[in-house]
Amino acid sequence: MARRTSRVSASATPGLAGVHAHDTADDMSLDVPEQLLTPEASRSETSSNNENASTEEKPAPRRRSTRVARVSLQAADTLDNNASAEEDETPKSSSQAYVDSLAKAKRTRSSLRHSIAVMESSLFPGTANDTMTDDHSMAPDTPVSKSSQEPPSEDMATSLQQRNLRKRVKKALAQDEGTPKIKTPKSSSRGSVRRSTRLSIVDKASDLLGRASSVLGKRSRDLSEKGKELGRRASLRPRNVAPEKEEPTPALAEPASKKRRVSESDLSKLQAQEASPSEEPTAPPVQRYKPKRWLSHGLYTGQEPTDSPPKQRRSKTSAKASGIPQQRKIMPMPMFVGSRMIQNGRDYQVPFDIFSPLPHGQPKPDEWRKTNKNVFIGDAASEWKANKKLELSTCMCEEETGCDEDCQNRYMFYECDSGNCRLGPECGNRNFHELKHRTKAGGKYNVGVEVIKTADRGYGVRSNRTFEPNQIIVEYTGEIITQIECERRMRSVYKNNECYYLMYFDQNMIIDATRGSIARFVNHSCEPNCRMEKWTVAGKPRMALFAGENGIMTGQELSYDYNFNPYSSKNVQKCRCGAENCRGILGPRPKDKDQRPKVVDEKKGLKKTKKLAGTKRKLADADENTTVRGGKKRRMITSKSIKASVKKAVAKATSARGKAAAKKTVSRGKAATKKGVKLPTVKTAARIKAAVRGPRRKAGTAKTSPASPAKKASPLKRPSAETKKQILAAAAKGSRAQARKSPAKSPAKSPGKPGRKPGPKPGPRKAPTKSPIKARMPDSKAKSTAASNPAKVKPTKGKSLGASVRSAAQTLMRSVKG
């Protein structure tokens, strides 16, 4: 820019000098050519310069001034050249050409005057007033208007102006070279142009703004300044319009009105706000959408929506009193629904499986050493003989039925396991296995029982949950001792005890539950809700308490029938079970009703059967020697008599062990029945008389029966040892007969199951020699059985092996009983 400026100045200087020289030629300079700069040419030149300068620095005021200077200098140069040319041609031109040149000169002068005025205002904005004062002919009017109004007789003034112009141009160029970046405010330079023409209006506007600035704050002043700036810019736009159009009046009025409009509007708003700060705000905006109406409750068909909440319970009187037509709040029931509901009814189930343990702080029994497994003590381990008969026990149950009541192992009180049963989870004869998992899981619910303190029977056991019928509850465990050891303990250790926890076990062994499980606290009842059963689990006898046929409800006290006979009539212990048919003593259940104990009414002297309530019964009512059984007085068992009976029982068992080897079990039961069993047993007599029962439905099975047959318990009575023996013998016979027969004649019932496939490749589970019970009942035996009992023994053909064995066992048991 500086380079171009210098170039322009270098080229302009001689031009100016030329113009000056031409001016000195005075009136001859009126002949100017038409190439003199016109506003259009100036604009084109300016635009071309703008295009060239677009990539360079653009200090707008200086560039514009430079352009104006160039334009003016070019015009002056052209004027000079034309003047010189005209000087050369003047003598040769005609009078008409002279007139034309005069007209052109007039136009050129007016254009030159306009350019000079623009240049002057651009270069010397600060001296606009000076210019106006110095050059009064240009001051108040625009160049266009001036040129249009100026008479052509002012040529001398034009020359003076041109001289002044030259001086100022020189001065400006000198300043431009010395200080290339003269920062002239653009607005002021532009405004100066306007001021020259709109001075009065601008003065008025600035006067108003000044007043407004004095009143308003900084922000308002800024707004006013901004409006002023906008107004100035807007007012400068028409500068590019050709001056020939001559429309200064609207161009002048528009910026002033804009300024005033902007400032006045802001000012009026601010003044209005300041004047009335407490005025109410304007009206809220109009909502374009209809507000959503939300319902607080549902509606029935035909019900009108209301804002009030529905009143479900409104009396008829209040409804009538209100006088408002009432709406139906609920739909009417279908017709006859009430009668149908009454007629059909529906099943419902009350809460059954309730867990309700006792709160903390219950009295706990003293001197209870707990053990949950049987422990062989002394010679009991060496004298114990494993039950070899277990090898013959293998059930043949199907998966569909599981090990239900027809399971042979169940019938003989053998628990199924992987060694004697091929079923898995479907097996329903694994009570002790279930109990093991339950106790292993722990927790009061899984244990299911807890010790309570009774009113008159010492401690007892209650359930804190429900048990299904025949479900195993708790195992009776303790120390397994021999009879000799039992006698020794009775003499020395338990000689001062009032309660004994001794129970006959198996093979003349005795369980001493003094150190044992919680089952030792279960009391006796003449109407028990549980039963104590001995089972053989993995070849070893184990005893456990099972729920009765009615199951156990939460909170019930558990009891079973001790069913032991006192050694003598003197050793009778009074029963406080409170059952309706209580026998009155802790003894065996009498065979008939006549033998039930009767209490003599001392007042009336009559003998009557008295119903004793365990908690309400007075001890005087059950006088020690007033219980009568079969017309004989029986003494309540004292601790001393119990000791004696235990001693005698042990002695008897010891002597009997050597006498009856083959009839050990039977003789033991019979001997105990005849001469009194001193220890609680597991219903030996009942076992001897046990008969095979058909599958029985459990009480309440509709609601409480387990979904899986694995949870079924055994309600069967225990078969006698002799029955077991005969069953096993028959099974062995059948096995031998089966072995003699052709395998082709004994087709398997389930050929798809490898364990039952006949032939040279038997199933992998059991070898035929080790499980003779798997063989079918021989045809000869079956025929003979059918001949003897045709109505009861069904043909074995087509029946399963288990059914055949069961049929043979039933026949044998009937013959034994007969």
Q: Which pair of tokens denotes residue 269?
A: 């708003």
> Which residues lie closer than 8 Å to 148 by C-beta, 6 or more apart?
110, 246
Q: Which amino acid is at 485?
A: E
Residues contacting ligand SAM: total by CB under 6 A: 15
Of residues 622 and 731, the one with the C-beta less far from ligand SAM: 622
Residue 504 three-state SS? strand
The DSSP-derived string for 426-467 is: T----HHHHHHHHHHH-SHHHH-EEEEE-SSSSEEEEESS-B
CB of 643 to ligand SAM, least distance (A): 12
Q: Does 429 bind ligand SAM (CB under 6 A)?
A: no
Site string for ligand SAM, 365-384 (x = CB under 6 A): --------------------
Of residues 222 and 456, the one with the C-beta less far from ligand SAM: 456
Rounded CA separation 213/221 (Å)? 5
Of residues 314 and 453, the one with the C-beta less far from ligand SAM: 453
For 386-405, give one letter per residue: b (16+ CB within 10 A) or e. ebeebebbbbbbbeebbbbb
Q: How many CB atoms lie within 10 A of CB 735?
A: 21
628-629 vs 632-633, strand pairing mode: antiparallel
Of residues 505 and 521, the one with the C-beta less far from ligand SAM: 521
Rounded CA separation 114/127 (Å)? 17
The DSSP-derived string for 221-239 is: HHHHHHHHHHHHHHHHGGG
> Which residues lie closer than 8 Å to 232 by C-beta, 6 or more apart?
187, 190, 191, 194, 255
Rounded CA separation 651/642 (Å)? 14
Of residues 403 and 577, the one with the C-beta less far from ligand SAM: 577
Binding residues among 498-527 for ligand SAM as defined by CB under 6 A: 499, 501, 520-521, 523-525
Q: Does 577 bind ligand SAM (CB under 6 A)?
A: yes
> Which of 22, 113, 232, 457 forms a contact with ligand SAM (CB under 6 A)?
457
Of residues 524 and 534, the one with the C-beta less far from ligand SAM: 524
CB of 580 to ligand SAM, least distance (A): 14
Sole residue written with tokens 């091929």: 422
Q: Which amino acid is at 143?
A: P
Q: Does 583 bind ligand SAM (CB under 6 A)?
A: no
CB of 470 to ligand SAM, least distance (A): 23
Of residues 577 and 721, the one with the C-beta less far from ligand SAM: 577
Rounded CA separation 495/108 (Å)? 156
Piece of the chain touching ligand SAM by CB under 6 A; list 277-285, 533-541, 571-579, 757-765: 571-579
E strand or H helix at 544: strand 540-547
Which segments within 738-804 are labelled E, that is strand?
none
CB of 750 to ligand SAM, least distance (A): 48
Q: Does 575 bind ligand SAM (CB under 6 A)?
A: yes
Q: Which amino acid is at 397?
A: C
E strand or H helix at 510: strand 510-512
**Chain residue whose CB lies nearest ligand SAM:** 458
Burial classification of residue 777, based on how many CB atoms lie within 10 Å of its CB (0-12 exposed, 13-18 middle, 19 or more buried)? buried
CB of 514 to ligand SAM, least distance (A): 10
CB of 674 to ligand SAM, least distance (A): 23
Site string for ligand SAM, 522-561 (x = CB under 6 A): -xxx------------------------------------
CB of 437 to ligand SAM, least distance (A): 27
> Which residues lie closer than 8 Å to 236 by C-beta, 6 or more apart?
190, 193, 194
Site string for ligand SAM, 82-111 (x = CB under 6 A): ------------------------------
Of residues 5 and 565, the one with the C-beta less far from ligand SAM: 565
CB of 365 to ligand SAM, least distance (A): 6
Q: Does 477 bind ligand SAM (CB under 6 A)?
A: no
Q: DSSP state, 662? A: T
CB of 355 to ligand SAM, least distance (A): 24
CB of 498 to ligand SAM, least distance (A): 7
Residue 375 three-state SS? strand
Residue count (the chain): 818
Piece of the chain touching ligand SAM by CB under 6 A; list 317-325, 384-392, 419-427, 574-582: 574-582
Q: Which pair of tokens denotes residue 618?
A: 């007075």
Of residues 85 and 358, the one with the C-beta less far from ligand SAM: 358
Of residues 260 and 524, the one with the C-beta less far from ligand SAM: 524
Piece of the chain touching ligand SAM by CB under 6 A; list 406-414, 570-578, 624-632, 709-717: 570-578
CB of 450 to ligand SAM, least distance (A): 14
Q: Does 432 bind ligand SAM (CB under 6 A)?
A: no
Quick one: which of 608, 355, 307 has its CA closest to 464?
355
Of residues 402 and 528, the one with the C-beta less far from ligand SAM: 528
CB of 356 to ligand SAM, least distance (A): 22
Of residues 457 and 774, the one with the C-beta less far from ligand SAM: 457
CB of 520 to ligand SAM, least distance (A): 6
Binding residues among 584-603 for ligand SAM as defined by CB under 6 A: 586
CB of 575 to ligand SAM, least distance (A): 5
Piece of the chain touching ligand SAM by CB under 6 A; list 86-94, 396-404, 428-436, 573-581: 573-581
Site string for ligand SAM, 393-412 (x = CB under 6 A): --------------------
CB of 586 to ligand SAM, least distance (A): 6
User: Within a 13 Å sphere around the CA of 44, how many CA atoms are in the beta-carbon half?
Assistant: 4
List own/partner pairs for 136-140 with CB under 8 A and 24 or more apart.
Answer: 137/161, 138/113, 138/196, 139/196, 140/196, 140/197, 140/199
> Which of 458, 590, 695, 751 forms a contact with ligand SAM (CB under 6 A)?
458
State whether the Cα torsion 607-609-611-615 is positive or negative.
positive
Q: Does 459 bind ligand SAM (CB under 6 A)?
A: yes
Task: From residue 378, give the alpha-carbon distance in Å to each of 105, 506, 509, 570.
Answer: 154, 16, 11, 33
Q: Does 413 bind ligand SAM (CB under 6 A)?
A: no
Q: Does 576 bind ligand SAM (CB under 6 A)?
A: yes
Ordered strands of the 502-504 beta sheet: 375-376, 479-481, 510-512, 502-504
Of residues 395 and 575, the one with the C-beta less far from ligand SAM: 575
Cβ pair 505, 399 in contact under 8 A? no
Residue 515 three-state SS? strand
**Cα radius of gyration rounded to whole Å, the chain:** 66
Quick one: which of 146, 140, 138 has its CA closest to 120?
138
CB of 526 to ligand SAM, least distance (A): 8
Quick one: which of 415, 421, 426, 414 has its CA closest to 396?
421
Burial classification of residue 523, based on how many CB atoms lie within 10 Å of its CB (0-12 exposed, 13-18 middle, 19 or more buried)? buried
Of residues 158 and 641, the one with the C-beta less far from ligand SAM: 641
Of residues 22 and 457, the one with the C-beta less far from ligand SAM: 457
Provide the Cα torsion 528, 530, 536, 538; round to 10°: -160
CB of 462 to ligand SAM, least distance (A): 13
Binding residues among 143-162 for ligand SAM as defined by CB under 6 A: none
CB of 506 to ligand SAM, least distance (A): 19
Residues that bind ligand SAM (CB under 6 A): 457-459, 499, 501, 520-521, 523-525, 573, 575-577, 586
